[in-house]
Structure 1
């Protein structure tokens, strides 16, 4: 994996953090707005918090949000619209498998997620990755790259673009079958795997994290068994070199393989970015539109 791609992942995470900040109301009307995380109504006439008898008003809260995040969030919203419009005009299309690959890599640097958390994160990731790729396409569209150079780059790095199946696993490791059967009995009664790992597991590296081991993507005892399991299921106890293990499969990420035709535009863009003598920013595209915003000149 290239340093450039690792940097791209960090950019995606940064953009996601910025764009998921709550959008506040710019006016001070009496409209009841939904709260960001709690999904309950907020009365703009009432304080949003009190400490003893001291109030934090809705106006103080939103003013703080505006002063702290306002310019960044508004700029991100403008950037999105600029890139969306120009991409449509230029007919830019992105191979879904390229996005799938980046999403899989982002999953592997996350911990355990609920289905709801994963769904929200993935939606944001896909939007951010798509935005970044389309921005890069727009900024590099006039840079010419020889076909032979693209093919040479592919031959050199093609193995980096194929991802094996990855399986997210937790384990409970115990010393004897009696304890293992007790764990299974409690799991069958509805006990949480993570809680039982903290109570019973002899795996000192993971028990305080509820047995979480991370993602496996190569042959071995855990990976081989997990391949035959469904997501959100646990195994029967089995012998390992370290004791008797029970594993839990949280998530499976499918293998992704990209051929030259599927990667060509992506590789051309990466090579073109190396020739770009400007920072990759949507600022460079604002001149295509008459943009006025409350913060003055960009």
Structure 2
């Protein structure tokens, strides 16, 4: 299956770099570079020193991201290559079915993940545009890996864990009064892993082994936007909230034929799967000279 954890790791890395630089440079202006951002025993660290350190640490990677986006856009126009929303949604569903509970990658913003999926698919298409694979080989791969293209029903859940029934009842009352489930999870949940995330469990298979049988039976009765009654757990009670669902699906050979072609083709191409592989084609020149892959 061409569903890569690297997609998720890339998203996390890019979000970290982009958010840091956006936060810092959005406040940059005349007179601000000499202001103090910290002091040690009366000695200041200036904004200029801070920005210089950030540029040294993150500047090259962020510039590379910006260049690669432009490169992909130009090449997509040049070769008339596009990525449909249907393709993006299919990859997203397959990623969520493969990597779910407590995986911080899957708990990133859906929009950012889908944006990276689109870039990843576009790069795959560019790298494999001239590679032909016979239908027989494609069908053989599909038949050998058909289970990969079966997606179970997925639930995007949030949870609030509390120590006793009384606390659970109090949470339910606050939810009925209009309180945010996410805010209550951050305030009241005793689960250290999900509380800082607003109770987010990510996407999990409805019939997987992540939930107890009692919890599974309860969440199956819920629709999107509904919360459960308190479910007994080892450390008290759990209240679940269904934020989103992905329907069970089995992708036909026709639906994933092109995806399979790209997977097999990528194993044959000599170029590494990086947008930098196309820099020479567009005569890219940048601040860091020939340092493209470091």
Class of the TM-score when normalised by the shorter of the 2 chains: 0.7 to 0.9
Q: What is the Cα-based RMSD across aligned positions, in Å?
A: 3.7
C-alpha separation between the residues in 2 aligned to 1:95 and 1:175? 48
C-alpha separation between the residues in 2 aligned to 1:68 and 1:242? 44
C-alpha separation between the residues in 2 aligned to 1:19 and 1:100? 25
C-alpha separation between the residues in 2 aligned to 1:255 and 1:223? 16
C-alpha separation between the residues in 2 aligned to 1:51 and 1:59? 14
User: What SS does structure 1 have at the residue aligned with 2:272?
Assistant: coil
For 1:122, the equivalent position in structure 2 comes to 110
Instruction: Report the alpha carbon displacement of residue 82 of structure 1 after superposing the two structures with TM.
Output: 1.2
C-alpha separation between the residues in 1 aligned to 2:223 and 2:200? 17
Q: Provide closer, same or farther for how the CA distance between residues 256 and 237 of structure 1 changes in structure 2, counting only shifts above 3 A.
A: closer
User: What SS does structure 2 have at the residue aligned with 1:93?
Assistant: coil
C-alpha separation between the residues in 2 aligned to 1:174 and 1:14? 33
For 1:99, the equivalent position in structure 2 comes to 88
For 1:29, the equivalent position in structure 2 comes to none
The answer on whether the counterparts of 1:97 and 1:256 sit within 8 Å (CA) in structure 2 is no
Q: Provide closer, same or farther for how the CA distance between residues 290 and 51 of structure 1 changes in structure 2, counting only shifts above 3 A.
A: same
C-alpha separation between the residues in 1 aligned to 2:233 and 2:51? 57
Instruction: Report the alpha carbon displacement of residue 140 of structure 1 after superposing the two structures with TM.
Output: 1.5
Q: Provide closer, same or farther for how the CA distance between residues 243 and 209 of structure 1 changes in structure 2, counting only shifts above 3 A.
A: closer
The answer on whether the counterparts of 2:153 and 2:205 sit within 8 Å (CA) in structure 1 is yes
Q: 1:64 aligns with which of 53, 76, 94?
A: 53
Q: Give TM-score, length-normalised by structure 2.
A: 0.74
Query: How many aligned positions are there?
Result: 270
- Summarize deviations over 1:141-173 as a string: whole Å, max 9, x none: 122211111111122223212322222142547
For 1:140, the equivalent position in structure 2 comes to 128
Instruction: Report the alpha carbon displacement of residue 10 of structure 1 after superposing the two structures with TM.
Output: 4.3
Q: Give TM-score, length-normalised by structure 1.
A: 0.73
Structure 2 spans left out of the alignment, 5+ residues: 208-212
Are residues 1:36 and 2:19 paired?
no
Q: 1:259 aligns with which of 247, 252, 263?
A: 252
For 2:277, the equivalent position in structure 1 comes to 284
C-alpha separation between the residues in 2 aligned to 1:194 and 1:232? 18
Structure 1 spans left out of the alignment, 5+ residues: 24-34, 199-205
